[in-house]
């Protein structure tokens, strides 16, 4: 088979994989607001988004030219060089996007593909320049102005979107407050009319751009058009641009009347309609304009191959790809198939849910589990904001301050959220509608002015701005939210650097290795995707285990039981593994055990962090037992700490290549391990039964094991006196025995506190 035909087949196989990982990342753009506000059942939201994707896919034909000539000047590259560039881009894109998805971080597929094209093109252009003294400069091969526009668009969109979202949300909340149901009756139709008009215009401007309908002729030469005799035809996209204000006026009036009538007749939720229409619009725009990021390169590769074959040229190293400069249309079948793959991925991808979770966690109204830590920059920003707020309060007139506080009074909203429990939205539909409207307006304005920006950046930063204005970033969570936002933003800029560098390196490898490099790198991409898939699967499984302990579904007592039993089971497993690894001198195994034990520590810490939520769910009759639950969590953390104080010194002992434990030491530790596992099983069984009738027996068992510890310690002291034990091994041995005693003490304390919590 022709080597270049194999490359084309590889490009399309990579395109399918790229569609899957790309949709997983970009789904957050159009699902965030509707799912966050619970505007409709999950399946309904997904159906609306799927419909938007299918419609948008058919609008994307003209956008494919970006991959062909947007970044490079293809007429200066040979066919063989173009194919290497395209393969380098697709291999890099899949690996890069999949890595971001695995960590649940939203990034821009537009920025990724642009900088990958730039990196691979620069690499191949450098080879051409170095090939001879008569070669052209880099500017001949690269359309550098486009890359600079992209960078400028990134910087501009990040700050403008955040500020615009914050300002509009603040004004909207002043107008509607958190108790907006009453005011919606009177001004809801006007608000909905403005919102849906913005979204409608967004569909026309953003959706129409580059679509197969954009060049449809509306008026011919000689026609009277807006008071002028035409000298050239007017096409649809120009007509929409010329008629912008009439379209906006008619749409605003029409939607306002329709929504008001619907509210009077059917009591329809105007905000819900707005959110669902906006979800459709953003999904449509995503498919219409971002589809090029996934299949544009493979289609350009196919066009290049067909042109080369049709030309009859024998030498791919001397055939220039001038045909890529001209306009082309993409067959509808490719667009429809790509749209169907995107829809299927949207429904099945768990990684898409992870990326969505990151965005919702950073924008939700209430406090809770903050996945990001605190950074020095975030602390400084929060400190400065608090000082500014306190200074501002001193100069603002009291009546104005009191009125503003009433508009942002969240007590009734919080009561509703508390009553809904797990079914509570991350934020209300007023904020969801502002998210969609502002994202639509900003993207439409930028598109109409031909300013490049990323849909991901705009939608994410608008959501962050609205959450800030809505006082979702309170003193309890602000430092974590800001750290999260900064992490995502830094990830975006890191994307550009990594995309350029990785694509450059892949192109260099392909240049030297040819088809063997293609097969090898595709194999590497498959391996990395599989590895991140397994990592994500493991992470998801751990999270699903935690949801099995959900307080809303099970109640406080059963949830407490499940989480404590799960952690004790993990501790028992690690006790066995760590002693076995020490005895067998398995350094690699001990390193992995260390990681698992650190995760147990994190889980115990997370339980402590969610203590407030658990205690708040206690019945008033049971509130006195709350401090016993706090004790249970404290003892669980101490157990995890003691386990880590065994594994970490043991690993360092092996890393430093100190003397091995003696056979006698290993035998003692093995016997001690068996006793620890036996008593842990007894504690778990007692908690599961819930009778607590055997606590005295378990305490007697504990005392027997503590006596055994004293015996083996004395035994080892005698060995030291006889010169039969090394210093470092003895230190490790005594450390393990000491921490084992701590485990025994904390486990009985945990059992007693758990009994008191459950019975009182």
Q: Mean pLDDT, 10 residues at a time, over the chain (760 residues)? A: 77 80 69 82 85 76 53 81 87 81 69 84 86 70 73 77 89 84 81 85 68 72 75 78 85 90 85 86 73 75 83 79 69 77 75 65 60 72 78 81 82 75 77 84 70 73 85 73 77 81 90 83 80 67 52 61 85 88 85 85 74 60 66 86 88 84 88 91 88 87 91 87 80 90 90 82
Strands 224-225 and 228-229: antiparallel
Q: Give residue 521's Cα distance to chain centre.
A: 26
Instruction: Let me know: does 272 contact 278? Beta carbons within 8 Å.
Output: no
Q: Tell me how far apart the alpha carbons of residues 468 and 464 are, in angstroms, rounded to a whole number.
A: 6
Tokens of 205: 């401007």
Q: Tell me how far apart the alpha carbons of residues 6 and 231 are, in angstroms, rounded to a whole number.
A: 49
Q: What is the DSSP string of 219-267?
A: E-TT-EETTEE-SSPEEHHHHHHHTHHHHHHHHHHHHHHHHHHHHHHH-
CA neighbor of 97 nearest in space, from 499, 489, 461, 454: 499
Structural domains of the chain, ranges and CATH numbers in brackets: 3-539 (no CATH), 551-759 (1.20.58.220)
Q: Tell me how far apart the alpha carbons of residues 579 and 545 are, in angstroms, rounded to a whole number.
A: 26
Instruction: Let me know: does 44 contact 286? Beta carbons within 8 Å.
Output: no
* Sign of torsion over alpha carbons 538, 544, 549, 552: positive
Q: Tell me how far apart the alpha carbons of residues 545 and 162 are, in angstroms, rounded to a whole number.
A: 36
Length of the chain as a residue count: 760
3-state SS assignment for residue 218? strand
CA neighbor of 643 nearest in space, from 593, 586, 702: 593
177: left (phi over 0), alpha (psi -120 to 50) or beta: left
Q: How far is the CA of 688 from the CAs of 694, 702, 754, in angstroms?
A: 12, 19, 11
Rounded to 10 degrees, the C-alpha dihedral 93/99/105/107 comes to -10
Q: Which residues of 85-94 are buried (b: 16+ CB within 10 A; e: fewer)?
A: bbbbbbbbbb
Q: What is the pLDDT of residue 434?
A: 87
Q: Tell me how far apart the alpha carbons of residues 352 and 442 are, in angstroms, rounded to a whole number.
A: 24
CA neighbor of 496 nearest in space, from 19, 195, 187, 71: 71
Q: Give residue 244's Cα distance to chain centre.
A: 36
- Where is 217: in which H helix or E strand? strand 217-219
Instruction: Let me know: does 613 contact 545? Beta carbons within 8 Å.
Output: no
């Amino acid at each position: 088979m022709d080597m270049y035909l194999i490359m084309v087949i590889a490009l399309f196989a990579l395109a399918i994989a790229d569609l899957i990982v790309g949709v997983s990342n970009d789904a957050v753009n159009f699902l965030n607001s509707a799912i966050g506000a619970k505007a409709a059942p999950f399946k309904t939201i997904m159906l609306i988004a799927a419909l938007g994707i299918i419609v948008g896919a058919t609008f994307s034909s003209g956008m494919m030219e970006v991959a062909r000539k947007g970044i490079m000047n293809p007429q200066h590259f040979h066919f063989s060089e173009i194919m290497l560039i395209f393969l380098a881009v697709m291999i890099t894109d899949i690996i890069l996007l999949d890595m971001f998805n695995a960590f649940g971080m939203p990034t821009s597929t537009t920025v990724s593909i642009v900088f990958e094209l730039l990196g691979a093109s620069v690499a191949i252009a450098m080879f051409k320049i170095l090939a001879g003294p008569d070669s052209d400069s880099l500017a001949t091969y690269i359309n550098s102005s486009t890359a600079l526009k992209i960078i400028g668009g990134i910087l501009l969109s990040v700050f403008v979107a955040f500020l615009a979202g914050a300002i509009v949300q603040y004004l909207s909340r002043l107008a509607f407050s958190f108790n907006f149901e009453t005011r919606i009756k009177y001004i809801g139709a006007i608000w909905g009319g403005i919102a849906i008009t913005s979204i409608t215009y967004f569909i026309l401007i953003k959706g129409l751009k580059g679509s197969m309908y954009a060049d449809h002729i509306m008026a011919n030469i000689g026609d009277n058009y807006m008071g002028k005799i035409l000298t050239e035809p007017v096409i649809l996209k120009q007509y929409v641009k010329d008629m912008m204000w009439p379209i906006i006026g008619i749409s605003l009036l029409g939607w306002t009347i329709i929504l008001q009538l619907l509210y009077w007749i059917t009591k329809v939720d105007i905000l819900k309609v707005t959110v669902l229409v906006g979800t459709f619009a953003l999904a449509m725009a995503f498919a219409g304009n971002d589809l090029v990021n996934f299949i544009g390169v493979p289609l350009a590769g196919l066009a290049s191959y067909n042109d080369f074959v049709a030309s009859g040229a024998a030498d791919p190293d001397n055939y220039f790809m001038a045909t890529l400069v001209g306009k082309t249309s993409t067959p509808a079948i490719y667009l429809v198939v790509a749209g169907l793959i995107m829809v299927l991925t949207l429904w099945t991808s768990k990684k898409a849910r992870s990326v969505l979770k990151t965005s919702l966690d950073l924008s939700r109204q209430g406090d809770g589990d903050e996945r990001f830590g605190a950074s020095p920059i975030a602390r400084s920003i929060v400190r400065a904001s608090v000082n500014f707020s306190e200074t501002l309060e001193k100069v603002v007139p009291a009546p104005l301050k009191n009125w503003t506080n009433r508009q942002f009074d969240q007590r009734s909203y919080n009561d509703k959220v508390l009553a809904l429990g797990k079914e509570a939205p991350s934020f209300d539909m007023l904020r969801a509608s502002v998210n969609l409207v502002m994202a639509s307006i900003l993207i439409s304005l930028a598109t109409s002015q031909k300013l490049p920006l990323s849909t991901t950046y705009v939608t994410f930063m608008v959501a962050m701005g609205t959450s800030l204005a809505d006082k979702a970033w309170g003193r309890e969570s602000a430092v974590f939210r800001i750290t999260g936002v900064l992490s995502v933003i830094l990830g975006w800029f890191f994307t550009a650097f990594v995309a350029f560098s990785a694509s450059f390196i892949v192109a260099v490898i392909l240049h030297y290795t040819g088809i063997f490099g293609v097969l090898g790198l595709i194999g590497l991409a498959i391996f990395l995707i599989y590895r991140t898939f397994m990592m994500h699967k493991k992470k998801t499984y751990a999270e699903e285990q935690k949801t099995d302990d959900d307080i809303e579904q099970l109640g406080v007592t059963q949830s407490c039981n499940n989480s404590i039993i799960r952690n004790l089971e993990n501790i028992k497993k690690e006790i066995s593994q760590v002693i076995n690894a020490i005895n067998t001198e398995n350094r690699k195994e001990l390193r992995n055990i260390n990681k698992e034990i650190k995760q147990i520590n994190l889980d115990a810490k997370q339980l402590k962090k969610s203590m407030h939520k658990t205690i708040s769910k206690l019945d008033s009759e049971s509130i006195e037992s709350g401090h016993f639950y706090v004790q249970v969590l404290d003892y669980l953390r101490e157990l995890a700490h003691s386990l880590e104080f065994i594994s970490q010194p043991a690993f360092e002992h092996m890393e430093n290549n100190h003397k091995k434990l003696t056979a006698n030491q290993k035998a003692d530790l093995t016997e001690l391990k068996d006793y620890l596992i036996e008593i842990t099983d007894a504690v778990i069984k007692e908690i599961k039964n819930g009778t607590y009738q055997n606590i005295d027996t378990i305490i007697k068992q504990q005392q027997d094991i503590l006596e055994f510890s004293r015996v083996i310690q004395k035994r080892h002291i005698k060995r030291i006196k006889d010169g039969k034990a090394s210093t470092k091994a003895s230190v490790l041995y005594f450390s393990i025995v000491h921490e084992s005693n701590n485990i025994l003490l904390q486990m009985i304390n945990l059992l007693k506190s758990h009994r008191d919590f459950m019975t009182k």
